[in-house]
């Protein structure tokens, strides 16, 4: 993807291209287009950050523990 998750420098901007390979740029674009198509809006400073456009609970912060068991995963 051309950068690490949660790196907040200019490299993380979706329109940043310097030093990125064509594959990295294509991967960023695939993610962006898929998320937009399914109702998410992108943040213009982070290639990985999207917000649900029609958020049903925009003023609610959900805080709960997630474990492999809680999502039905066999991963330990």
Catalytic residues: 46
CA distance readout (Å), 1 to 42, 45, 59, 72, 76: 16, 14, 31, 29, 27
CA quadruple 50, 52, 55, 57: dihedral positive or negative? negative
What whole-number distance in Å separates Cα of residue 52 and Cα of residue 4?
A: 22
């Amino acid at each position: 993807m051309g950068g690490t998750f949660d790196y907040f420098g200019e490299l993380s901007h979706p329109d940043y291209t310097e030093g990125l390979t064509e594959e990295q740029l294509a991967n960023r674009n695939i993610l962006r287009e898929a998320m937009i198509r399914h109702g998410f809006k992108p943040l213009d400073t982070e290639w990985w950050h999207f917000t649900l456009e029609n958020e049903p609970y925009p003023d609610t912060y959900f805080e709960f523990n997630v474990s492999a068991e809680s999502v039905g995963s066999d991963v330990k």
